[in-house]
Structure 1
Amino acid sequence: MSIETIKIPELKIDASVLKGALSGVPAMASQFKTTVDAVLKADDFTVLDLGQYCDSYEGFKSACTALASALGTLMVQNEDGATVVEVYDRNVGRIEEGVRYHQTRQGGDIHTDSVNRPDPMKYLILGSAATSVIGGESILIRAREVIARLQGMPEVLDILRQPFWFEGRGMSAEQELFQQPVLRGPDEAPDFRYLRPYIASAHERAGTPLTTDQTYAFDVLDSVAELSDMQHRFMLEQGQMLLAVDTRVFHGRTSFVDGVTPGAWVKGRRMLRYWVE
């Protein structure tokens, strides 16, 4: 399946509402939130094009921050207290060497972001400030479609609903351990919290390595998420914003190579990440 054949749901917002929300007009920001909430309740992700409203990196960052703030409280994402994180290749190493995924050019694991604090976020927002020269496709998988594929394996679903150890990686020097199920909620509206390397690391730190059954359940989950007909792959272009219900959408990306892109606001692929509660 090529990325050209996949229909990505686009968020349609009245221009006056969007302009008002971008300007911080309370009534328009509230109407923007009402519209987005309704769209993401009906589906699990959507894309909003802000290209015509922005002509620079700083302008785009301000626009993304204004709209993310209209949807709720911006959550702290690291021990520095940042509520917006730039996702780009910092050329500081590889994931295998302990470098965090968002600091590399690697594809990484299919995951949700609600893994490093006890309270999950509501929305994940990614704003594309610049694209790469090669690669960097966004990958999305709806959780309900994963559940549909797993209906014939109830033992796997049962294991995923049991408590697992998680760690607060990047949130504090102590990296607090806490327990949560990977899967909760009814099959028609499942909520996942999953990033396999973090969970495996937390289990090792807790002195209870993943069991054979738990490892098998993760193998099955990964295999389903990696099926080509499960994945929605597309390029998030400069000026576009992805909005997703984090616990109901697995996401990832393909590896990429940076370079000079004509008309880019900044050099190299760069995303702005927001967690909204």
Structure 2
Amino acid sequence: MPTSNAALAAEFDQHRSRLIGIGYRLTGRLADAEDAVQDAWLRLASTDRETIRDLGGWLTTVVSRLCLDRMRSAAVRREQYVGPWLPEPLVGALDQDPGDIVAGQDDLRIAALRVLHELPPDQRLAFVLHDGFDVPFAEIAEVLGCSVAAARQHASRARRVMADAQPPPRVPLPEQQKVLEEFLAAVASKDLAAITRVLHPEVAVYGDSDGKARTARRPVVGVDKVARFILGLMAKYGDGLVENVQLVLVNGDLGLVFRGSESLPEPRVFTMAVRDGRPAAIFDIVNPDKLTRVPW
């Protein structure tokens, strides 16, 4: 007996969050993930359900293929991207349910996704599907159009890059809040020594603008350079840099939303990764194309 549309939609919805999670990790854009999942639904609706033995596996393959096409075309576009590229931030209020996509997902922090998206598309897909979602290499090879051995190699290379990069692991929110408050107090003091003291020795700032708003055009690396960069921002923008901000969750970590002011006109999302009780990576996302879903 053919599956009814309502029954098929209900069955599909059981996989939706997982599929969007896969799509977001692969593309770094929630809209791309949602489009891929919607396309997968349309393909499912026009397919005889009885011919699909494992619906979850079938949908994962379809969404992964759709995302792979987007990833490969995006890799070409990123060659012309102005400055560092960061994923679209998933921003929510502190008391808001983060949803199934973000809740408890350590690999979705911005620090991890930044490294993930420096991988070539085939390596990124193999790593995400196998290490993140336990997809067998035979199915990954089918998506990539390669041998099982090649799919294993893609995942292995990605794993080594991720391990070598050592993105700071997520620390508990109370510790993040303490570090963030100390950082903001040091910035507000406009004192170079105070700012230097609160930063991790290997701190780096990554600004994502694509040339559409003002931030660092290249990564700023090292405690002295970052401290002087921050001091320069305070000299240029004044207290507007630390005032009129809202504490939010950004991909499950604490962050800030700047709505924009007379002295600092561009809205922005700010978050950081903490290592050894200090900011080790600072992310400043100002590309307006990536802030359309932020609850201002």
Normalised by the length of structure 1, the TM-score is: 0.28
Mark the structure with the bigger radius of gyration.
Answer: 2
Bigger proportion of residues as strand: 1
- Greater relative CO, 1 or 2 (CA 8 Å, sep 6+): 1
